[in-house]
Amino acid sequence: MDDPIRIIPGTEGQVPLILEFIRGLAEYEKLPNEVVATEESLRQSLFGPRPDAEVVIAYADEEPAGFALFFHNYSTFLGRRGLYLEDLFVKPAFRGRGVGRALLRYLARLAVERGCGRFEWWVLDWNEPAIRFYQSLGARPMSDWTVYRLAGPALEALAGTREKTAGDDADLADGVINPRPSA
């Protein structure tokens, strides 16, 4: 008989395990080259003086089976904070055993205990198994919203911390990014 699933807050000593989970997630999402996190960056951002996020580890059969990394966001419409799930990953050997559901239930309870107005996350469009699973829990897609991201040179340009070069593909004028016309 399988041991029950046990979920505990991650600790600084588990940073190598957390990074292993992140790399496993990146492999699953077909983005292994995107991981630039290091043990040191995770140690600082998760367990430093002012943590940016929290992490929980799920154990099944007393083995690390999965993890969830999350943080609080805020809804101006609700006037309350929410819980945002950045990453959830279950090792392939433990899938189909309720680990993902247990992690989500743990976080849902935490959101309720902390007075959060909602619990949300993103999922890749191609990840049909995850989409079906989330919908089976009662989660609904926010199809009226489009996610935008600034990173790297675009973020630095908007922040005014990067010199623009002739190769940049956008101009910043009056607080609006205007795409350059193609030549």
Name the band, by pLDDT with cuts 50, 70 and 90, for residue 1.
Answer: very low
What average pLDDT score do residues 72-80 get? 97
In degrees and rounded to multiples of 5, residue 50 shows phi and psi of: -135, 85
Residue 153 has pLDDT above 50, yes or no: yes
| Cβ(169)–Cβ(179) below 8 Å | yes
pLDDT tens, position by position, 94-108: 999 999 999 999 999
Residues 6+ apart with CB under 8 A from 135: none
User: What pLDDT, on the 0 to 100 scale, is given for residue 162?
Assistant: 75
Distance of CA 174 to the CA centre of its chain: 32
Query: Which residue among 28, 84, 106, 134 is the active-site one?
Result: 134
Looking at domain 6-146, its CATH superfamily turns out to be Gcn5-related N-acetyltransferase (GNAT) (3.40.630.30)
**pTM of this structure:** 0.84
Tell me whether residue 84 is one of the annotated catalytic residues: no
User: What pLDDT, on the 0 to 100 scale, is given for residue 182?
Assistant: 43
- Report the relative pairing of strands 6-9 and 80-90 from DSSP bridges: unpaired
Residue 176 has pLDDT above 70, yes or no: no
* Mean per-residue pLDDT over the chain, rounded: 90
Residues 6+ apart with CB under 8 A from 23: 32, 35
User: What pLDDT, on the 0 to 100 scale, is given for residue 174?
Assistant: 44
What does the domain layout of the chain look like in residue ranges?
A: 6-146, 148-183
What average pLDDT score do residues 133-157 get? 94
By mean pLDDT, which of 73-87, 92-106, 112-126, 151-165 is the weakest?
A: 151-165
| Cβ(59)–Cβ(65) below 8 Å | yes
